[in-house]
Structure 1
Amino acid sequence: MNLPKTMKAVMAYGRNDYAFLEDAPVPQIENPDDIILKIDACGICGSDVMWYQGADSFWGNEKEKGPMEPPVIPGHEYTGTIVAMGTGAASKGYALGERVVADMIKFCGDCFYCKRGEYNMCENQRNFGHQSDVNGAFAEYMRIPEGTVVYRLPADMPLDKAVLIEPFCCAMHGVERAGITKEDLVVISGMGCIGLAMVSIAKKYEPRMIVGLEMNPARIELAKKFGCDLVLNPKETDVVKRVKELTEGRGCDVYLEVAAHPSSVYQGLDMIRKKGRFVQFSALPEEITYDWTIIGDRKELDIYGSYTSCHCFEKVIRGLYDGSLKSEGMITHRYPLEQFLAAVEKAARKEPDVIKIVMTMDGKE
């Protein structure tokens, strides 16, 4: 296939400085293992919104440098079709026309963490959509460089499922960090895309009860369909008191923080039982303060972080494809790439009808 010289793409130049380009250069094969994808769709992640709004955690501040290295094409929740590849990729059995997804991290394979199989913690990682040598998928074409794990998709996998693979992988990693058992009462705070995916994944562990926390009525109803046994609205209910009532005053066994709001962290630390497991998934928009002695002197908590995913893609692809992982209803809006700025602004406003916005490359909404 002869690729065009230019393409449509979204470019991030800095904080609050994004532009849609009609003539961005189409990526080229640079190394034998490189693959060029024609992007079919790319979802807007909550982190994309935070980048767009200029969050210090991504752009840095006077204390530390952030991971963003502009100019860069953002976007990491994607699926695409192979349209070109180097000789090394071809020798590995990849074929033109195959539908694939790839890990959002290009890892080195040689550092302390990579050798332990913990490649999401790679000391030399490059993240798609963060740095210009690994441009992301808010574009018509994207280069997948050597050092990236590429996963084939079933030819008949619906696009609406394929584009959700990466966020489901992140959700799965967070759930796996929690170590859920059948005896656990699990609380998941925030019923957006990741929270709903966590509900669907957590159900496989058959916990005693899954409680969702959410204020949006539409999301509350969807959370019930995804498998929550109970959904509580913090605006209407003292959720800490209610969860303790369900557990003879102890509190929840597992708390997964996915709401990306300081109050969600505080209520989780208040709600969780002694020796409970707290998983912090969300990137928070601001620093928080709390009496940290609750971890040791008062509750002896296990605190886990969760960053992207690790060894989850194949499991998620199977689960979404065979329907054992629910995804229906997650994608609420579709925009053509040309309308990215309108789409990300809509996501940033947190309008009640929005769960997942997907950018399409065929010009259709």
Structure 2
Amino acid sequence: MKALRFYAKRDIRFENADAPIISDEKDVKIKVKAVGICGSDVSRYAKLGPYVPGNVWGHEFSGEVVEVGSDVTKVKVGQKVTACPALFCGKCEACQKSIFAQCENLDVIGAHRYGAFAEYIVMPERNVVPIPDEVDYDDAAMVEPSCVVVHGYYKTGIKAGDTVVVVGCGTIGLLAIEWAKIFGAKMVIALDIDDTKLELAKKVGADHTVNTMGKEPSEEVQKVNNGKGTDIVIESAGTPITSAQSFSLSRKGGKVLFVGIPYGDVMVKRLYFEKIVRCELSVYGSWNAISAPFPGQEWETTVHCLKTGQLNVKPLITHVVPLSKGREVFEITAERKEPFGKIIFHPED
């Protein structure tokens, strides 16, 4: 089969790879129809390199079931599906407590085993999630990043009437804006330094947008929130600067949720860090998108809201291109040659 294989920083190749086969009675073989580039893929391509040179990567995907193991009952051939990319060990203390996101040996497809930047992928049945006919393949490939956001919000206990500030308006930030509204937030403030992203933030539901370039973000938030901070702060930019600033954006007794990953040391000003103690903040880290019963309520919730139209991910998708153009597309992300949001590959185009 044809696949994108990642060999080193900025070295990805569209070439032949061995097609995966069903080796377990609980395996499901899927023909990949759509697969998205994650922000972590962009960072790994340009900055970090692969875990396993020559591996097929990619973990946000949807497709059609083409073969099932003898004991598979959850899905059938011809069915539209997505799949949770996380692989937990089932043996460590966290797994025994069904806290799968904290598994000591947690892995993700595309890291050490073949991922979905390919024509086919084989997944364990427990990871496979059926998709209703009303949801197209491109939207279904957005289920996993949506679940990342929902997983984090569940930690905060978000409720109707809350005020939310979202720091960073990439894919995860835009999804955080949409989900804040779905959960009933009365006000969502979006912060970024890119006006194009802020325009998109408005389209998906942000009540206020602020370009924070050269500004103190906490002062800007207070201007639009009656001199106060917000109930919930979502850090989704994943930069050292925004990670430090996020503590200053909350009201007293508020909550700060980190879903972004800064690839650099976070140096926090004393006045920002003091907020944790003096304002009695609750600070959450959120990793992955899984809970019990696996893969978790995040997946059921996202699929349901896509089906009903409450969640609209189409505005987030800016590029749909053949998988064969993978190298050129990743160079665009590395060089920032043009604006981009979620990029979706079609393996068979």
TM, length-normalised to structure 2: 0.91
Q: Which amino acid aligns with 1:178?
A: T
Work out whether 1:140 is the aligned partner of 2:119. yes
Work out whether 1:277 is the aligned partner of 2:258. no
Which residue in 2 is equivalent to 1:14? 8
Work out whether 1:73 is the aligned partner of 2:66. no
Note closer, same or farther for the CA distance 1:185–1:287 as it changes in structure 2 (3 Å cut).
same
Which residue in 1 is equivalent to 2:93? 112
Q: Deviations over 1:260-304 (max 9, x none)?
A: 222211221222233321111011121222257525543332111
Once the two structures are TM-superposed, the CA of residue 182 in structure 1 deviates from its matched residue by 3.5
Percent identity between matched residues is: 32
Once the two structures are TM-superposed, the CA of residue 191 in structure 1 deviates from its matched residue by 1.4
Q: Distance in 1 between matches of 2:129 and 2:345?
A: 21
Work out whether 1:168 is the aligned partner of 2:146. yes
Q: Which amino acid aligns with 1:301?
A: L
Structure 1: 5+ residue runs without aligned partners?
1-6, 60-67
Q: Which amino acid aligns with 1:30?
A: S
Work out whether 1:328 is the aligned partner of 2:299. no
Once the two structures are TM-superposed, the CA of residue 320 in structure 1 deviates from its matched residue by 0.9
Q: Distance in 2 between matches of 1:351 and 1:184?
A: 38
CA contact (8 A) 1:281 1:305 kept: yes
Q: Which amino acid aligns with 1:8?
A: K
CA contact (8 A) 1:197 1:326 kept: no
Q: Distance in 1 between matches of 2:210 and 2:169?
A: 11
Once the two structures are TM-superposed, the CA of residue 18 in structure 1 deviates from its matched residue by 2.3
CA contact (8 A) 1:218 1:352 kept: no
Which residue in 2 is equivalent to 1:362? 348
Once the two structures are TM-superposed, the CA of residue 168 in structure 1 deviates from its matched residue by 0.8
Of 102, 111, 131, 1:121 maps to 102
Q: Which amino acid aligns with 2:328?
A: A
Structure 2: 5+ residue runs without aligned partners?
291-295
Q: Distance in 2 between matches of 1:308 and 1:332?
A: 24
Which residue in 2 is equivalent to 1:47? 40
Q: Which amino acid aligns with 1:139?
A: A
CA contact (8 A) 2:230 2:250 kept: yes
Q: Distance in 1 between matches of 2:20 and 2:148?
A: 27
Of 152, 157, 160, 1:179 maps to 157
Q: Distance in 1 between matches of 2:106 and 2:96?
A: 13
Of 337, 348, 355, 2:323 maps to 337
Q: Distance in 2 between matches of 1:18 and 1:27?
A: 20
Query: What are the equivalent positions in structure 2 for 1:1-365 lying under 5 Å apart?
Result: 7-21=1-15, 23-55=16-48, 68-89=51-72, 92-132=73-113, 135-145=114-124, 148-235=126-213, 237-291=215-269, 293-294=273-274, 296-310=276-290, 311=296, 312-350=298-336, 353-363=339-349
Q: How many residues align?
A: 341
Q: Distance in 2 between matches of 1:176 and 1:202?
A: 11
Q: Distance in 2 between matches of 1:156 and 1:244?
A: 41
Q: Distance in 1 between matches of 2:261 and 2:312?
A: 24
TM, length-normalised to structure 1: 0.87
Q: Distance in 2 between matches of 1:223 and 1:272?
A: 20
CA contact (8 A) 1:37 1:84 kept: yes
CA contact (8 A) 1:98 1:155 kept: no
Once the two structures are TM-superposed, the CA of residue 49 in structure 1 deviates from its matched residue by 0.7
CA contact (8 A) 2:145 2:172 kept: yes
